[in-house]
């Protein structure tokens, strides 16, 4: 059984994404089995005729909300009004 390959333009059309986004996925090694031969990317197609894209990982978890508040929060209101 021979494997069918697609170029970046054809694969982007099949995935309904731009060629620039596909090149980004290729540079991140998220397209399974893709090979670069000189200047061309050869992207294998699966049984359904679509390229396989590995899911992305989310970045590191934020640390901005790790510390829990220990005391009560007070809101200070100035009762004096300012005239313009």
Residues 42 and 30: their CA atoms lie apart, in Å, by 14
- The whole-angstrom separation of Cα 65 and Cα 84 is 39
Would the pTM count as exceeding 0.75?
no
Residue 29 half-sphere exposure, CB side, CA atoms within 13 Å?
0
pLDDT tens digits for range 12-69: 999 999 999 999 999 999 999 999 999 999 999 999 999 999 998 888 887 777 777 7
Mode of pairing for the β-strands spanning 35-37 and 5-6? unpaired
Q: Which residue has the tokens 């909300």?
A: 65
Distance CA 13, CA 11 (A): 5
75: pLDDT strictly greater than 90:
no
Per the CB < 8 A criterion, the answer to whether 26 and 18 are in contact is no
Residue 80 has pLDDT above 80, yes or no: no
């Amino acid at each position: 059984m021979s494997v069918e390959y697609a170029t970046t333009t054809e694969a982007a059309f099949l995935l309904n994404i731009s060629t620039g986004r596909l090149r980004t996925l290729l540079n991140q090694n998220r397209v399974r089995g893709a090979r670069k031969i000189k200047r061309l990317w050869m992207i294998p197609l699966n049984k359904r005729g679509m390229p396989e894209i590995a899911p992305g990982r989310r970045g590191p978890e934020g640390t901005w909300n790790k510390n829990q508040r220990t005391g009560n929060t007070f809101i200070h209101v100035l009762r004096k009004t300012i005239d313009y």
